[in-house]
């Protein structure tokens, strides 16, 4: 029964993909970002085209999955994906052009790096991008679209691993634990040790306001 429920959920998550197939779009990609909110590190975007006749069970919004489950699914997604690209834009560009524009630029880069051009890209929330393919924004897309869910998992695993590696250079900041998000541990570390070159200066204005 439990397995049947999982399979049913996955079939339901093909709703948007099926709608695009009915429109005549044969190559359907999903795209999602991770890391818009952290105080440090890059924003990361994945664009992926998954086969729709060989569904991976358990794909969902990456935030709903355990780290172990995400890592296992990420490996399976990479093996089965028809095509995928993963791009990151660092904190310096985020500070220069703001996080929304950095995210859009990262998405544009991810689409353009695909070795197979999709007919349409399903994107979590964002409705329009400066790309030469059709874009369809879907609210909570990472939870309701199979392709977007797969993209969210690859993006999160990639960014998490990047932050874990970054923690070796900055061990006192605990990046391996909070991945750059504004936890109490992270904020206390900034107050104690100062701001690093991987912090988003535009995100840390609240520290000046507290003084």
Enumerate domains of the chain plus CATH numbers: 2-164 (3.30.420.10)
151-207 tens-digit pLDDT: 999 999 999 999 999 999 999 999 999 999 999 999 999 999 999 999 999 999 888
Contact residues for 155 (Cβ-Cβ < 8 A; gap 6+): 32, 33, 34, 35, 44, 45, 46, 62, 86
**Which pTM does this prediction carry?**
0.92
């Amino acid at each position: 029964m439990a397995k049947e429920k999982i399979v049913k959920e996955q079939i339901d998550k093909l709703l948007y993909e099926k709608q695009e197939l009915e429109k005549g779009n044969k190559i359907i990609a999903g795209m999602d970002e991770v890391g818009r909110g952290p105080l440090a590190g890059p924003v990361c975007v994945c664009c992926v085209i998954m086969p729709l006749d060989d569904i991976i069970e358990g794909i969902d919004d990456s935030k709903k999955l355990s780290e172990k489950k995400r890592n296992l699914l990420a490996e399976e997604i990479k093996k089965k994906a028809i095509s995928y690209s993963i791009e990151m834009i660092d904190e310096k560009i985020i500070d220069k052009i703001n996080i929304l524009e950095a995210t859009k630029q990262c998405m544009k880069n991810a689409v353009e790096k695909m070795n197979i051009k999709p007919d349409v890209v399903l994107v979590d929330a964002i409705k329009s991008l400066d790309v030469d393919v059709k874009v369809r924004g879907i609210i909570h897309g990472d939870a309701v679209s199979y392709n977007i869910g797969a993209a969210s998992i690859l993006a999160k695993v990639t960014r998490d691993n990047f932050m874990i590696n970054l923690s070796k250079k900055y061990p006192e900041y605990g990046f391996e634990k909070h991945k750059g998000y504004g936890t109490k541990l992270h904020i206390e570390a900034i107050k104690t040790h100062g701001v690093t070159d991987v912090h988003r200066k535009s995100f840390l204005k609240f520290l000046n306001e507290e003084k």
